[in-house]
Structure formats: structure tokens, C-alpha cells
Amino acid sequence: MTVEQAQEVLTVEAEGITAVRDALGEEFVRAVDLIMDCPSRLVISGIGKSGLVGQKISATLNSTGTPSFFLHPVEAMHGDLGMVSATDIVLAISYSGETSELNLLLESLKNRSVQIIAMTGNDKSTLARYAAVTLNVAVPREACPLGLAPTTSTTATLALGDALAVSLLRRKRFREEDFRRNHPGGSLGERLKVAVQEVMLTGDKVPQIRKEATLEQAVAELNKKNIGAVLVVEDSNKLCGILTDGDLRRHLLEEKWLEKGSGAAESRKHISDVMTRHPVTISGELMAADALSLMQSKDITVLAVVGEENSVQGLLHLHDLLGKGEFRFLI
């Protein structure tokens, strides 16, 4: 009996989603157009079960390229209304369309000339009258046998929110790599599918120095950038070598620098006398997984990223793939 009851609930909820699907029309297109033209954010508001659904819709929008945040109607009327700007759009959710706390907020929003999209099961409601666009989420019946607990209606509202997010995703031409960029805490396998050029260090963050520089100047750059290596370049920013912390330690031991007391003389050496020539490099167009594999095979933690004619594009550190920055572990 229990299984049959569960199947009945799912059947009723499926019927609700079908009803909302069949009711879709130009209002949905207008809602998408309105959000696409919004220069700032989509603010979602609702209370009770509708508020919980709104929070999930907001999270889905954020991860698929539409900036959004959830605003609780009561908190809004006690100061949080300041989070909403005149250029924002508000998506207000209430199945009855007569939620007093939400409608009180909507009055304040209208006074600020904020445009409102309603998601309601009653297109004749107060909420619908406030709205520039109304999305109808009316369902034939609730799955709750008492007809009291929001069940089918919240499922249908959530599904319509997904439809809105996916429609916006497609209009924005949101790509798989954009999604991964918004999910840096995902599984390592997924995170390593991005291109090296998306995670490498660039510009002033890259420790590099001219090959005519002294060892003292190279050490200063090592300390300043704190990456554990400095790239050595010549004309046209062409890579000609690399100096790592390990290279520096080995050189000092070989030269018996400390024993001879010749630190001053050593520091004036040119970096080209100490650097590793022809360092391991990678193209920025390859995948982060390729970079990790190369680092493991060569037993190194730093990779120079180069383009045409060996010109330096950036620098990739093992930490950028596994333990720091955009690819941090969430523990």
C-alpha cells in the first residue's frame, strides 16, 4: 500500500508540472527578456515554502550565469531593502498571491520603480497586479490528501524556476567551462577539465627576470612573488631558463658559498650562470589534467606556460591545481 501511495503522489506532482508546462506562453518569453535586459541582479523573494523554493532557484541561477540573491520579505522591511537597487528585477513567489508580508514588500518596491515578475497560482491576485509579468504556476491539486501542505505547487514552482534558469543559460550561451568556473569546489576530476590558461598566473603575478640580471636580483624576485621559481626571459619575452628554490640551494652547496665566505661575489653572478636551461613548458590550450600529469612525470611543481616562439604566457604551480586559489580543497 505504501508504494502505491508514493506512486500516487509522484503522479499528482507530474500532473502539476505538465499543467504548468502547458500554460507557458508569451509571459515566459517576456520574463526571460526582462531578466536578459537587467543590468544588475535578479532578486528573489518569498516566504515559507515559497521562500525555500526561491532560495534554490536563486542558487541555480547563480551557478548558471544569472547573478541573483534571495531577499526575505520580513528582513527586507527591517533594513535589507537597502540591498535592492532601482536597476534590479524582483521575482516574487507566492502560490496564493496574497501573502501579506510579501505584498507589503512589493508596495515598497513599486515606489522605487523596481520591476517585478510574479510566480503565482492566482493570476488575479494582489501579487499579479503588482507585477509587470506573471508566470502562472497553478496546479490541478496538491499531492497532500488534505489539500493543505504545499506539495505539487512547490514542485511545479521549482520546475518552472529551472526552466527559467536553463532558458537564460541558453540565451547567454553559458558554456561548460563557465559552469566549472562557478564551481571551484567540485570534484578534482571535474576541476582538472579546464584549460591551463584559465588557471595559470599571468601578468605581474608571474615571477620573471631578464637573463642579464644578477643572482641577487633573482633571489629578490623569488622572495617577492613567493612562488618557488622565477622565469628567465630574453628579447620578445622569450623563455630561456628557470631558477627554482631547489636550483639555488644546489648551487650554493656545490660552490660551498657559506664555507668560502664569498656571498657577495656569488650574489653578483648573472642568473644565466645558475639557471636551468630549456625548462619544461606547457601550452595554455592544454587541459589542467595534462599539466598535472606532466608535473608528476617530471617530478616538478612549477610549469612555464608558453605560446608561439616560446614566449611566456604565464606560470602554473601545483598549488593552482590542487590546493590553493581557484582550485582550493573545501575541507
**How many angstroms separate the CA atoms of 153 and 140, rounded?**
9
**How many angstroms separate the CA atoms of 45 and 79, rounded?**
15
Q: Which three cell numbers stand for residue 110?
A: 513599486
Amino acid at 241: G
Among candidate residues 35, 22, 27, the one with its CA nearest the CA of residue 64: 35
Identify which has the larger pLDDT, 185 or 143: 143
pLDDT category of residue 94 using cuts at 50, 70 and 90: very high
pLDDT tens-place string over residues 24-49: 999 999 999 999 999 889 999 999 99
Express as a percent the part of the chain with pLDDT over 90.
Answer: 51
Contact present, 194 and 284 (Cβ < 8 Å): no
Contact present, 66 and 165 (Cβ < 8 Å): yes
Q: Where are the domains of the chain?
A: 2-174, 188-327
> Quick one: pLDDT at residue 218?
86
CB under 8 Å to 208, separation ≥6 — which residues? Answer: 221, 230, 231, 232, 233, 312
Q: Is 2-174 CATH 2.30.30.100?
A: no
Express as a percent the part of the chain with pLDDT over 70.
Answer: 87
The set of long-range contacts for 128-137, using a CB threshold of 8 Å and a minimum separation of 24, is 128/97, 130/92, 130/103, 130/106, 131/92, 132/34, 133/27, 133/30, 133/31, 133/34, 134/27, 135/27, 135/28, 135/31, 135/160, 135/164, 136/20, 136/23, 136/27, 137/20, 137/95
Q: What is the pTM of this model?
A: 0.59
CATH topology of domain 188-327: CBS-domain (3.10.580)
Task: Inform me whether the pLDDT recorded for 326 exceeds 60.
Answer: no
Give the mean model confidence (pLDDT) for residues 204-212: 91
**How many angstroms separate the CA atoms of 24 and 154, rounded?**
17
Give the mean model confidence (pLDDT) for residues 158-178: 87
Task: Inform me whether the pLDDT recorded for 214 exceeds 90.
Answer: no
